[in-house]
């Protein structure tokens, strides 16, 4: 008897989710963060609607501080597959001069959370695919695959719709929207393995290469352009590094590594002792911070 | 031990990945309340299987000191209680899904709350579980909640049970205690149809029999919990059953491609297979097949595919493609178990939306036969189902759907109910069986048929054939019945003998032959109108049994209601509103029924109205009551 592999089952479940949203929602969009999870999502979306194209655009929230290689990869990807790409930046935040070094959470609030809400409202999207996985974080473990948002984009963790079997209720009232997580049941290993098996294109930043970095508060920050303010006497050094997650370059810590191929990266990942989000500064303000951010509309 | 694969990762990561690929997946649910140590058990499994990273462990240490319930010692429960409200209250509120793997298997755990107020969350977790781990506190034994959890997992179709008797460290690792609990539980479980039970004495906090056999309980000869989870046989794969796929989406990227996309619920499909589209009943062969990898010759249960058919048949979202040789039944009335999940109670007769597979239809729940007390399993008569109530109900849909009993198929037997105004998921249900004759009827290729037309107007078509002497009150009563049906939004038509003779039958006289032709035409018109989905009222003297039998034979069984409007000749003649009896008595109307032509009273009429006793209004009420009994109308118009 033929048996489906674990990845084939996950793939089938995700495709089912994509199709269900397209069948039941009016104006879906794929939140494309350019990271590895977004790459896998896009790959699955293309399979779900083959031989046609995915019937929805990609939306990227550009903070102005994304890695240059990410933006190049983003544009090349949209071009290669002939996809509609929407790039949104919070102009108010730019005008107000908010930077990754602004005090408190102003940067992530304005340039990520607010920017996303603006873009969704501006285009009237009623469903947005996100790459969140349940294995990432404790509050995500309790989030539904179809996760409802009020017209103010708020998530109410105590009032989630029951989600039985593979029956998803996508009905909503005017102004309400859904965040949909097709990768909910994937683990980090599954994602890497799928990228490997399916040869899914990813941003080269995931693979080790010599890159200019500075050391700050125990983290290696890449000097991706001249805007990164250097402390007096601070000298970028070229080290062989790679990134486990991608975001805004001044806030994303690199890992010392020589893993320049996918199997090498997977080996390192499997032998690693720290969790995936460790390198992401934006997630480390407070124990319940992710749950709070989500309630406010962060993905 | 758990990560024996570590060495392989170092030496040959590709080989390790291939092994990962071929691992099986076990989805299980853990049931127990806050005090049973459920979160502690899952936390320990994650910890022992090396699923916790160093930074997470560091965070756990801080959390344990701040809000742990173990005096600052590592509180594994904090690894899994994800919501701030849960950590504050030290309880689990919502279902959490956890992932871990060992060298032998991958696992997804649905960690669900145990309190009765969270029954809906537990049911959600159980809906996808292959196995349930039911926790018991060794010091407390089998409790009401143990029975409730067991009943719920059995209801949702999880047959494999692990009874984890926890806190053995606090019960002196006593074999007697364990055996007593085991015996009591097995006795109860058998009553609710659970037979595949493995009992394991454990201590989640001390680690006994969780991932390694405990030396402190040498009397336990069975496996430890993780060994059992790694080796328990998985259910027979769904591909051994006949092919079924709910159509999720019609893929039409260009005029020359039209594919039907969906997740295969059961069975195997191959290019060339003959499939049937349900509920329409049309058939066609598989002309092409796409799965995740592109074009393929075969696809099986669990795969998302796109199917191309050889013929241009009408298929839309919500239809089911099935093996033509063994198609599922189609029906629109069911008996089902309903689990209510909303603060606003289920109201009998109210319209909800029902989603099953990819199909969403209008549904009313009535009657609620009984509620099941999940603690005692008693059946209680009720008028509504409140939050977390479970009841057995009748369900009627606005249109027929392909289905299978839940015990055979979660995919085609499980449904959710959605509130039409708020769009909330308010209930879930399990179909057991179809009611009435729609079962196993496969309608054949008629795009718009009688049922479709009648469904559009939410009614069942039928003929009400009023027969009786002239002046008995047929037209008066038929008029009253039609007015009541019309007021309730039913689509009706009244064929009256006198009126028909002015048009359709104006070429006919009153000879025996013409009278027979008169009835034949009216019966044919009534049949057409039933086919059009109408409730047809025929008010005709129709004195001969043979003619009425002919009219009855033209429609399906159950669609013909012979209504005998019974009045003694003297009474009818005394009414004589049209002066016909007088004329007949004077010989001006030959062959007049009751005077010089016989009236054959019905032998077994569906309704017998004694007009000597009943007012016309009361008589109309009797007819309406009969229609309700027969399920033609579903509300009491009286």
Return the percentage of chain B with pLDDT > 90, whole number: 45
pLDDT band at B354 (very low <50, low <70, confident <90, very high): very high
Residue window 148-167, chain A: list those with CB within 8 Å of chain B.
157-158, 160-167
Are the C-beta atoms of residues B84 and A291 closer than 8 Å to each other?
A: yes
Q: Residue B534, Cα to own-chain centre: how many angstroms?
A: 28
Contact B108, B27 (CB under 8 A): yes
Reported as a single tens digit per residue, the pLDDT across B342-353 is 999 998 888 899
Which pLDDT score, from 0 to 100, does residue B14 have? 84
Domain covering B238-323 assigned CATH 2.40.30.10 in the classification:
yes
Q: How far B79 CA sits from the closest chain A CA (Å)?
A: 8
All structural domains of chain A with their residue ranges: 6-193+287-296, 205-283
Answer for the pair B322, B278: CB distance below 8 angstroms, yes or no: yes
Look up the CATH superfamily of B5-231.
P-loop containing nucleotide triphosphate hydrolases (3.40.50.300)
Q: Does B8 contact A at CB distance below 8 Å?
A: no
- The whole-number pLDDT of residue A282 equals 44
The C-alpha atoms of residue B395 and residue B285 are separated, in whole angstroms, by 34
Kindly give the confidence (pLDDT) of every residue in chain A, 299 residues in length, as a single tens digit, with 9 standing for 90 and above: 567 888 898 999 999 999 999 999 999 999 999 999 999 999 999 999 999 999 999 999 998 889 999 999 999 999 999 999 999 988 888 888 888 887 778 888 888 888 898 999 999 999 999 998 988 876 677 788 999 888 888 887 777 888 999 999 999 888 889 999 999 999 888 999 999 999 999 999 999 999 999 998 888 999 988 888 888 888 999 999 999 889 889 888 999 999 999 999 988 888 876 555 444 444 444 444 555 555 555 55
Please report, for chain B, the start and end positions of each structural domain, with discontinuous segments joined by +.
5-231, 238-323, 329-447, 453-629
**Which of B177, B175, B140, B146 has the alpha carbon at shortest distance from B162?**
B146
Whole-prediction pTM: 0.74
Residues 90-109 of A with CB under 8 A from B: none
B160 by DSSP, 3-state: which?
strand
* Range with top average pLDDT, A285-289, B20-24, B128-132: B128-132
- Choosing among B49, B50, B111, B248, which should be mutated to test the A contact, i.e. which has the most A CBs within 10 A? B248
**Predicted confidence (pLDDT) per residue in B298-351, tens digit:** 999 999 999 999 999 999 999 999 999 999 999 989 999 999 999 999 988 888
Model confidence at B413, pLDDT cuts 50, 70, 90, reads very high
B23, B99, B124 ranked by CB distance to A162: nearest: B124
* CA-angle at A146, arms to A145 and A149, nearest 5°: 130
Contact call for A6 and B415, based on CB within 8 A? no
The whole-angstrom distance between B164's CA and the closest CA on chain A is: 24
Chain A contact present for B636, CB below 8 A: no
Span B521-529, average pLDDT: 91
DSSP string, B547-571: HHHHHHHTS-TTSEEEEEEE--HHH
Q: In what order do the strands lie in the sheet with B96-101?
A: B96-101, B105-111, B24-31, B131-137, B160-166, B196-201
B157-208 residue pLDDT tens: 998 999 999 999 999 999 999 999 999 999 999 988 898 999 999 998 888 9
Which architecture, in CATH terms, is B453-629?
3-Layer(aba) Sandwich (3.40)
HSE-CB for B320 with a 13 A CA cutoff: 29
- Whether residue B365 has pLDDT greater than 70: yes
Tell me which chain B residues have a C-beta less than 8 angstroms from the C-beta of A2.
Answer: 239, 298, 300
For the CA atoms of B629, B632, B637, B638, the dihedral, rounded to the nearest 10 degrees, stands at: -30
Q: Do domains B5-231 and B453-629 have the same CATH topology?
A: yes
Query: What are the distances in angstroms from CA A245 to CA A109, A218, B53?
Result: 19, 17, 16
Tell which of B10, B118, B249, B301 to mutate to test the A interface (max A CBs under 10 Å). Answer: B249
Q: Which of A16, A141, A196 sits opposite B263 (nearest CB)?
A: A16
Tell me what ipTM this predicted complex has: 0.89
Check whether B547 has a pLDDT greater than 70. Answer: yes
According to the model, what pLDDT value does residue B12 have?
Answer: 84
Confidence label for B129 from pLDDT (cuts 50, 70 and 90): very high
- What is the CB neighbour count within 10 angstroms for residue B10? 12
Q: Is it true that domain A6-193+287-296 has CATH number 3.40.50.620? A: yes
Average pLDDT along chain B? 85
Residue A101 burial (CB count, 10 A):
11
Taking a C-beta distance cutoff of 8 angstroms, is the pair A81, A101 a contact?
no
Q: Tell me how far apart the alpha carbons of residues B392 and B378 are, in angstroms, rounded to a whole number.
A: 12
For residues A44 and A10, the answer to whether their CB atoms sit within 8 Å is: no
Please write the tens of the pLDDT for every residue from B571-618.
888 888 778 888 888 888 877 888 888 899 998 899 999 988 889 999
Average pLDDT over residues B358-362: 93
**pLDDT tens digits along B430-487:** 999 888 644 444 444 445 677 777 766 667 899 999 999 988 889 999 999 999 888 8
- Check if CATH label 1.10.510.10 holds for domain B329-447: no
Query: Token digits for A31?
Result: 């939140």
Banded pLDDT at B127 (limits 50, 70, 90): very high
Nearest CB among B21, B97, B428 relative to A134 is that of: B97
Higher per-residue pLDDT: B361 or A175: B361
| Mean pLDDT of all residues in B512-532 | 87
Which among B94, B294, B416 is the nearest to A164, CB-wise?
B416
Terminal CA-to-CA distance of chain B, rounded, Å?
74
Give the whole-angstrom CA distance, residue B382 versus residue B354: 22
pLDDT at A280: 45
- Predicted confidence band at B88 (pLDDT cuts at 50, 70, 90)? low
Compute the average pLDDT of residues B209-234. Answer: 91
Provide φ and ψ at B249, rounded to 5°: -160, 135
Q: Which of B38-47, B280-289, B567-576 has the highest mean pLDDT?
A: B280-289
**CB < 8 Å to B97, chain A:** 134, 141-142, 184-185
Question: How far B610 CA sits from the closest chain A CA (Å)?
Answer: 53
Please give the pLDDT value at position B327: 92
Residues of B recognised as catalytic: 542
- Interface size A-B, in CB pairs within 8 Å, comes to 195
């Amino acid at each position: 008897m033929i048996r489906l592999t674990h990845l084939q089952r996950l793939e089938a479940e995700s495709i089912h989710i994509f199709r269900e949203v397209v069948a039941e929602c009016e104006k879906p969009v794929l939140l494309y963060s350019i990271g590895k999870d977004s790459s896998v999502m896009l790959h699955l979306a293309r399979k779900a609607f083959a031989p046609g194209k995915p019937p929805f655009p990609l939306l990227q929230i550009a903070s102005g501080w994304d890695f240059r290689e990410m933006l190049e990869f983003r544009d090349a990807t949209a071009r290669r597959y002939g996809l509609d790409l929407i790039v949104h930046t919070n102009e108010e935040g730019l005008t107000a001069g908010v930077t990754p070094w602004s005090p408190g959470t102003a940067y992530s609030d304005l340039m990520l959370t607010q920017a996303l809400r603006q873009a969704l409202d501006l285009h009237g999207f009623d469903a947005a695919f996100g790459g969140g996985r349940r294995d990432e974080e404790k509050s995500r473990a309790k989030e539904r695959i179809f996760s409802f948002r009020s017209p103010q984009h708020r998530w109410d963790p105590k009032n989630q719709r029951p989600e039985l079997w593979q029956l998803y209720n996508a009905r909503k009232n005017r102004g309400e929207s859904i965040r949909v997580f097709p990768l909910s049941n994937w683990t980090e290993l599954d994602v890497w393995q799928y990228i490997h098996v399916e040869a899914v294109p990813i941003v080269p930043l995931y693979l080790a290469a010599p890159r200019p970095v500075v050391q700050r508060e125990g983290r290696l920050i890449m000097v991706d352009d001249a805007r990164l303010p250097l402390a007096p006497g601070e000298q970028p050094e070229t080290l062989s590094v790679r990134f486990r997650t991608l975001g805004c370059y001044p806030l994303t810590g690199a890992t010392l590594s020589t893993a320049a191929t996918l199997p090498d990266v997977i080996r390192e990942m499997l032998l690693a002792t720290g969790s995936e989000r460790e390198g992401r500064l934006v997630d480390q303000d407070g124990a319940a911070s992710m749950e709070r951010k989500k309630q406010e509309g962060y993905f | 031990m758990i990560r024996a694969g570590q060495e392989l990762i170092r030496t040959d990561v590709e080989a390790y990945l291939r092994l990962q690929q071929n691992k099986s997946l076990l989805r299980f649910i853990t049931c127990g309340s806050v005090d049973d140590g459920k979160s502690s058990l899952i936390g320990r499994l994650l910890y022992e299987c090396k699923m916790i990273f160093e930074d997470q462990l560091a965070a756990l240490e801080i959390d344990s000191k701040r809000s742990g319930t173990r005096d600052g010692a590592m509180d594994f429960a904090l690894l899994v209680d994800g919501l701030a409200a849960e950590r504050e209250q030290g309880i689990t509120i919502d279902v959490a899904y956890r992932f871990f793997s060992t060298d032998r298997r991958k696992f997804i755990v649905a960690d669900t709350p145990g309190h009765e107020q969270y029954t809906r969350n537990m049911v959600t977790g159980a809906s996808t579980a292959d196995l349930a781990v039911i926790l018991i506190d060794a010091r407390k034994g089998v409790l009401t909640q143990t029975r409730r959890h067991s009943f719920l997992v059995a209801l949702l179709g999880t047959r494999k049970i692990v009874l984890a008797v926890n806190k053995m460290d606090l019960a002196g690792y006593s074999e007697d205690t364990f055996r007593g609990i085991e015996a009591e539980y097995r006795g109860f479980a058998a009553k609710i149809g659970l037979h595949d039970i493995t009992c394991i004495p454990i201590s989640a906090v001390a680690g006994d029999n969780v991932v390694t056999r405990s030396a402190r309980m040498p009397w336990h000869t069975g496996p430890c919990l993780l060994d059992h989870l790694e080796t328990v046989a998985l259910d027979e794969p769904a591909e051994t059953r006949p092919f079924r796929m709910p159509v999720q989406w019609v893929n039409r990227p260009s005029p020359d491609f039209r594919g039907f996309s969906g997740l295969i619920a059961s069975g195997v499909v191959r290019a060339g297979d003959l499939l049937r589209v349900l509920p329409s009943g049309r058939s066609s062969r598989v002309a092409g097949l796409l799965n995740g990898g592109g074009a393929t010759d075969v696809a099986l249960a669990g795969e998302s595919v796109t199917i191309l058919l050889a013929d241009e048949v009408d298929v839309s979202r919500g239809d089911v493609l099935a093996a033509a040789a063994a198609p599922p039944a189609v029906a629109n009335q069911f008996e089902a178990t309903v689990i209510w999940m909303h603060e606003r109670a289920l109201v009998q007769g109210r319209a909800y939306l029902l989603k099953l597979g990819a199909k969403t239809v209008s549904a009313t729940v009535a009657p609620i036969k009984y509620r099941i007390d999940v603690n005692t399993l008693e059946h209680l008569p009720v008028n509504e189902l409140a939050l977390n109530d479970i009841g057995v109900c009748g369900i009627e849909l606005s249109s027929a759907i392909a289905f299978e009993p839940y015990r055979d198929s979660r995919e085609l037997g499980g449904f959710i109910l959605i509130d039409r105004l708020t769009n909330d998921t308010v209930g879930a249900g399990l179909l057991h069986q179809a009611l009435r004759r729609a079962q196993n009827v496969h309608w054949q290729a008629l795009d718009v048929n009688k049922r479709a037309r009648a469904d559009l107007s939410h009614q069942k078509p039928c003929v009400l054939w009023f027969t009786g002497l002239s002046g008995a009150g047929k037209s008066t009563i038929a008029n009253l019945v039609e007015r009541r049906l019309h007021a309730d939004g039913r689509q009706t038509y009244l064929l009256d003998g006198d009126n028909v003779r002015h048009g359709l039958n104006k070429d006919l006289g009153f000879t025996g032959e013409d009278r027979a032709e008169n009835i034949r035409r009216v019966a044919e018109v009534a049949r057409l109108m039933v086919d059009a989905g109408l409730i047809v009222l025929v008010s005709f003297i129709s004195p001969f049994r043979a003619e009425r039998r002919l009219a009855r034979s033209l429609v399906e069984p159950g669609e013909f209601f012979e209504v005998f409007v019974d009045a003694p000749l003297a009474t009818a003649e005394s009414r004589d509103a049209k002066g016909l009896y007088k004329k007949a008595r004077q010989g001006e109307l030959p062959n007049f029924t009751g005077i010089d032509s016989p009236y054959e009273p019905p032998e077994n009429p569906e309704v017998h109205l004694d007009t000597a006793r009943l007012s016309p209004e009361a008589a109309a009420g009797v007819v309406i009551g009969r229609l309700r009994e027969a399920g033609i109308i579903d509300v009491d118009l009286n």
